[in-house]
A and B are shown apart, each in its own frame.
Chain A
């Protein structure tokens, strides 16, 4: 029987494997542990039980040390230490946010910016549609002429929708299918309106539909500005019904078939660009060139990475919050208010504690003119205009000395301010000072996660 690996490849791989085994632990992971008698042990905490820590010395040796043999500070460190986080920092740091989320079972697809609006390609009633993602929209909307064009029947225009400049008529429209990536919503009713009504002459729509908060909630969406991707949570109940098993269940051992008809039952333990090493059921190892496998297995092997495998084996329990804060993002818990809920987050405006609405549909951040005045922004004359549902509304160029959200500080900014009361001029107490829009979120590389009710920001 022919061997499926040449001697030279084996030799080459052995060298590569040796290099992997000697991979250094990052210097910052080392800590000087101190025993009760003051003995210093420079080591990395590798694992722990309820009573003892497993420390790896600089020479690679591992020792077990009972917690009560360490000083108080080290004991506290060991007790708060998380193996998942440590493995992530040591082995998986190079994984992108996208990779981490996809490894956790999210489906992702790219979006593009139209000015600052998030646009994704979807299908409505089976026809291509440009869909704008708007966390600030109370309801999803279809552009009525588009709805008609794709064969939908727009109902009587006897509903009202409200925007920054007032109201507009809308009609309920049955939508048999709305598809985003592999996610399909069936038999929904969505309001349709003429998005070009009351807009300046020559205006064009750059989207056919607006997907609002209710869809983002249902999809457990994660919106990542730095990745320019939206991540949607797969429906696990479908997966269980299909008998495909729980996520990760097939990660360890699986069947691999070569083009010659040989079958391997095992798991990948490492690979070079051309050769994969398997730990077979029974304990033996075998190295096989990747291009010897059938196409599906070859694709699997090419996509396999040690970081990813480490992540799946050790870090799946990490929340998005933990993953992003490990990458130096700042986390903010947002509050959901209203039905369907909008997202609100605490921050400051010229050193006053305030609340902002997180609004991906606002291409530029926008302040309530009353709040801008109250918090001593430099509000100019109302000579500008903002456009939206209901037409236009006067606005003022407003200079802000300082906006903060946690440690992120934005200084010397110009935004527009307008009445945000949606027609109710007598009520400026709307509970927030304005819209934290896409301009700020792009700059601060925001990641919004509906599952965890959090927004993450990083200032570079």
Chain B
């Protein structure tokens, strides 16, 4: 007698065991090159991949694979955990080969089905829509920067590619003053409509002073363009700052935006340290990839959120490490984890901001620490909270917070902190 639960006949035919081969995966090299392939096998320090669909066998050194792929080999294929910490991380974002011939103009541009009436020119890349309004702004270089930063994240974080899914992220480059104002007015109103009056006031008080920010676009737009609701907005007042790849400020903003997406948000009681982790990473990427920083932070305080202050480090970033090292050696700055995780934008002075930067630099400074950083990011992604200081220390292989801090301090005083 037939049971209530019915399965399609075709599916059963297809399910006949055939000794399936390995799963196809996008593998990534240290230099950012990618290949669609199945895992053929791991032998010693090399890995064999079988490309799909043309079934070519390629043999690669494991240490030339991305950190994410090495983590995959350990967790899924049972490879030795020691392969994760081999090799040097390098600057994948700089080395990645980006095929700009895949970038294409979107016919009809981009507009908000509900909201501001301005239309935007739009460039589609494999992972982003870069939309621009203004005569002098050029989306190409921001698009390439975004793709480079995307590859950097895919290199480091095992789940990044999978979490990203098939949706693109929208980046708005708004040079046109009228378009920028109408976007800000619409966004403040939509935040107020959600019941967040403080948030709406903050949008109003900071909008014209911001260099970049993130907004949430309406469902009608995410459906129409198959994009994630979180959108990065640049207030383009100096278009020339966007005329080359990996310019400092766009690099900073996109780095923070992508890590924010990967972390997936934090709970109301798990946000302590979120600011330090995100901000430190963004400054680290900006300075390591461009050699300097052109980013200031804005802090909005007061009951009406209209008291806006600018926060920055020491000059343009070229002297940050040297100055902090001197201050740490002189005892003027304490290298302590718990207090730093508690800092908010309004608390920052230059030395605090640069200590946050040194924290990120330390965590991403070699393959072993980078693997620990990736583990911490996964923990945040699943728990929606920044781990307690004791847990951060454990993730980095230390029994105590004091031992973690001692290593971090040694890195600043005597290590590769530059």
Q: With A182-B7, A443-B383 as known contacts, state yes or no: A302 contacts B55, CB within 8 Å.
A: yes
Give the contacting residue for B382; candidates A104, A251, A273, A442; CB below 8 A.
Answer: A442
A251 near B195: Cβ-Cβ < 8 Å:
no
A364 to B193, CA, bound (A): 28
Question: For residue B390, which residues in chain A have a CB less than 8 angstroms away from its CB?
Answer: 411-412
Can you list, as one digit per residue, whether each of A352-383 has a CB less than 8 Å from chain B (1) or not (0)? 00000000000110000000000000000000
Question: For residue A184, which residues in chain B have a CB less than 8 angstroms away from its CB?
Answer: 6-8
B12 near A242: Cβ-Cβ < 8 Å:
yes
Can you list, as one digit per residue, whether each of A99-136 has a CB less than 8 Å from chain B (1) or not (0)? 10011110100001101100000000000000000000
Report if A241 contacts B (CB, 8 A): yes
Q: With A235-B3, A244-B13 as known contacts, state yes or no: A303 contacts B20, CB within 8 Å.
A: yes
Q: With A96-B23, A238-B2, A303-B19 as known contacts, state yes or no: A411 contacts B391, CB within 8 Å.
A: yes
Q: With A94-B41, A234-B7, A239-B12 as known contacts, state yes or no: A305 contacts B194, CB within 8 Å.
A: no
Report if B56 contacts A (CB, 8 A): yes
Question: For residue B165, which residues in chain A have a CB less than 8 angstroms away from its CB?
Answer: 112
B9 near A234: Cβ-Cβ < 8 Å:
no
Q: What residue of chain B has the Cβ atom nearest to residue A218's Cβ?
A: B5
A238 near B6: Cβ-Cβ < 8 Å:
yes
Report if A201 contacts B (CB, 8 A): yes
A274 to B378, CA, bound (A): 38
Q: With A238-B9, A303-B20 as known contacts, state yes or no: A93 contacts B15, CB within 8 Å.
A: no
Report if B199 contacts A (CB, 8 A): no
A302 near B3: Cβ-Cβ < 8 Å:
no
Give the contacting residue for B19; candidates A226, A308, A411, A413; CB below 8 A.
Answer: A308
B39 near A307: Cβ-Cβ < 8 Å:
no
A226 to B19, CA, bound (A): 21
Q: What residue of chain A has the Cβ atom nearest to residue B71's Cβ?
A: A460
Report if A416 contacts B (CB, 8 A): yes
Can you list, as one digit per residue, whether each of B1-40 has a CB less than 8 Å from chain A (1) or not (0)? 0111111111111011111111100000000000000010
Report if B108 contacts A (CB, 8 A): no
Q: What residue of chain B has the Cβ atom nearest to residue A188's Cβ?
A: B4
Q: With A226-B75, A416-B269 as known contacts, state yes or no: A364 contacts B384, CB within 8 Å.
A: yes
Q: What residue of chain B has the Cβ atom nearest to residue A232's Cβ?
A: B7
- What's the dominant secondary structure at chain A's contact region? mixed
B75 near A103: Cβ-Cβ < 8 Å:
no
Question: For residue A239, which residues in chain B have a CB less than 8 angstroms away from its CB?
Answer: 7, 12
Interface residues in B268-291 (C-beta closer than 8 Å to A): 268-270
Best-surrounded residue of B3, B10, B18, B390 (most CB of chain A within 10 A): B18
A306 to B38, CA, bound (A): 14
B16 near A247: Cβ-Cβ < 8 Å:
yes
Q: Tell me the count of chain A residues lying within 8 A, CB to CB, of chain B.
A: 74
Question: For residue B387, which residues in chain A have a CB less than 8 angstroms away from its CB?
Answer: 412
Can you list, as one digit per residue, whether each of B333-354 has a CB less than 8 Å from chain A (1) or not (0)? 0000000000000000000000
Q: Tell me the count of chain B residues lying within 8 A, CB to CB, of chain A.
A: 58
Report if A414 contacts B (CB, 8 A): yes
Give the contacting residue for B12; candidates A238, A412, A416; CB below 8 A.
Answer: A238
Q: With A202-B193, A460-B75 as known contacts, state yes or no: A115 contacts B264, CB within 8 Å.
A: yes
Q: What residue of chain B has the Cβ atom nearest to residue A398's Cβ?
A: B269
A202 near B20: Cβ-Cβ < 8 Å:
no
Question: For residue B41, which residues in chain A have a CB less than 8 angstroms away from its CB?
Answer: 94
Interface residues in A232-258 (C-beta closer than 8 Å to B): 234-235, 237-239, 241-242, 244, 247-248, 250-251
B19 near A309: Cβ-Cβ < 8 Å:
yes
B20 near A251: Cβ-Cβ < 8 Å:
no
B5 near A307: Cβ-Cβ < 8 Å:
no
How close is B399's CB to chain A, nearest CB, in angstroms? 12
B7 near A235: Cβ-Cβ < 8 Å:
yes
Question: For residue B394, which residues in chain A have a CB less than 8 angstroms away from its CB?
Answer: 411
A247 to B19, CA, bound (A): 12
A308 near B18: Cβ-Cβ < 8 Å:
yes
A241 near B21: Cβ-Cβ < 8 Å:
no
A94 near B9: Cβ-Cβ < 8 Å:
no
How close is B221's CB to chain A, nearest CB, in angstroms? 14
Give the contacting residue for A327; candidates B11, B23, B78, B219; CB below 8 A.
Answer: B78
How close is A361's CB to chain B, nearest CB, in angstroms? 15
Report if A185 contacts B (CB, 8 A): yes
Report if A146 contacts B (CB, 8 A): no
Can you list, as one digit per residue, whether each of A80-102 has a CB less than 8 Å from chain B (1) or not (0)? 00000000000001101011001
Question: For residue B212, which residues in chain A have a CB less than 8 angstroms away from its CB?
Answer: none
Report if B303 contacts A (CB, 8 A): no
A384 to B15, CA, bound (A): 48
How close is A47's CB to chain B, nearest CB, in angstroms? 21
Question: For residue A272, which residues in chain B have a CB less than 8 angstroms away from its CB?
Answer: 57
B11 near A412: Cβ-Cβ < 8 Å:
no
B20 near A102: Cβ-Cβ < 8 Å:
yes
Q: What residue of chain B has the Cβ atom nearest to residue A399's Cβ?
A: B388
Q: With A103-B20, A201-B194 as known contacts, state yes or no: A94 contacts B77, CB within 8 Å.
A: yes
Report if A338 contacts B (CB, 8 A): no
Can you list, as one digit per residue, whether each of A420-452 has a CB less than 8 Å from chain B (1) or not (0)? 000000000000000000110011010000000
Sample 6 A-B pairs with CB under 8 A, ordered by A number: A94-B22, A186-B6, A242-B9, A327-B78, A364-B383, A364-B384
Q: Which residues of B contact A (CB under 8 A)?
A: 2-13, 15-23, 39, 41-42, 50, 55-57, 75-78, 162-163, 165, 193-195, 219, 264-265, 267-270, 375, 378-379, 381-385, 387-388, 390-391, 394
Given contacts A96-B23, A201-B195, A307-B19, 5 further A-B contacts (CB under 8 A): A182-B7, A238-B3, A244-B9, A244-B13, A251-B19
Give the 4 A-B CB pairs with smallest separation, nearest first.
A308-B19, A182-B11, A442-B382, A273-B55
